A and B are shown apart, each in its own frame.
Chain A
């Protein structure tokens, strides 16, 4: 959390559990853009993305008392709520027939991805690390996380065994882990 002078996330979540609307507003101001970008990327539709983000923040508001720090930070907790709900909506909407690979990798929010990401200095490391992955690993991660595909669907879609999907996912995420660790070492 980069906002100096602002209360840390952990303090906000304590206040949120006490039903403090100010804490909810602060968390929203901090993470709404990221949450909305994620929901929009998954659903490709502004109205649905808005509904998902609304629902996720209200879910956090009501479930703040169940948040456990040892399970991950507040940002990750919020984003995982957004992700689960968005994928759930996507699957219900589409009855989840896998789309062709090309179509799936060109969802609307992919437009101008590189150019827009350049503006977002804070996130360049992760973006660069993702782009540096071999295409098959990158596509596996993106289609699963942003496309909502299960590993069985991915195996079918990409024409590879389940073990290959699992392996690509594991190795790809390990590489991203190393990139994140390197960034933390530099900024420390």
Chain B
């Protein structure tokens, strides 16, 4: 199988100067290619020395205790769920994890001795984001494929990662972040688009208002070469609304490494 190396992009990757979709592509290649990985490691060593050029800063004294308090509060729920590492279990226990995280946050806030609602909201947002990353990482760890859809125009700042887990019986799904709320009567629709421009509805949903939202795609993605998200007036019928994010999707035809 021909492998397209990414040596030409490793410097940009290391400093974080690639677009998200290219970052994901390079990261995926690095998991498969020891030669590029070795080059990347050498470049990252230099890049990781860049913070040494900065003047020393006074770290806020409260930060140490804040971190330790969060970690302490995190101990119990993480221990309880550590043995749960199959894909099915992860998906099933996700609501429980979120519940446990919320409980942890409450404890953390108490330990910190603050009633600051803003801090609580920020912690909850971070927790939510962390769960999102965890879901993506878990999908990739299972040998899945993924594609990032970046929000366009008014949806700049929003995005979604389409994940196709390579586990039999597990549906593909999209993990969205920062979805804009929609007016009453409007819905988001996930479409799979073939090379002949046939649009097949994969899911219809309303944003739940959280930082991240996972939506299962009910159609298999094999045979389609694009995934798009539109805003529609109806949960059925043809596509009419504007595309707010999309990505090309290409599944490998040969055996995967």
Contacts and interface: CB of A to CB of B under 8 A. Distances in A.
Interface residues of A: mostly helix, strand, loop or mixed?
helix
A34 interface: yes
B124 to A, nearest CB: 12
B46 interface: yes
A19 B79 contact: yes
Interface string A79-106: 1100110010001100100000000000
Interface stretch (B62-70, B202-210, B228-236, B245-253): B62-70
Contacts of A14: none
B115 to A, nearest CB: 18
Nearest to A48: B122
Interface stretch (B7-15, B168-176, B191-199, B217-225): B7-15
Given A58-B67, A145-B50, A32 B18 contact: no
B54 A41 contact: yes
Interface string A150-186: 1110100000000001100110010011001000000
Contact of A62 (B18, B41, B67, B78): B78
Nearest to A41: B54
A4 B50 CA distance: 24
B11 A21 contact: no
B102 interface: no
B70 A54 contact: yes
A38 interface: yes
B44 interface: yes
Nearest to B66: A54
A27 to B, nearest CB: 10
A99 to B, nearest CB: 16
A24 interface: yes
Interface in A22-40: 24-25, 28-29, 32-38, 40
A173 B46 contact: yes
Given A51-B122, A126-B49, A84 B16 contact: yes
Given A123-B52, A148-B16, A169-B12, 10 more contacts: A25-B68, A32-B64, A34-B54, A36-B63, A37-B56, A72-B44, A76-B45, A126-B49, A150-B17, A177-B46
Interface of A: 19, 21, 24-25, 28-29, 32-38, 40-41, 46, 50-51, 53-55, 57-59, 61-62, 66, 70-72, 75-76, 79-80, 83-84, 87, 91-92, 95, 109, 112-113, 115-117, 119-120, 122-123, 126-127, 130, 141, 144-146, 148-152, 154, 165-166, 169-170, 173, 176-177, 180
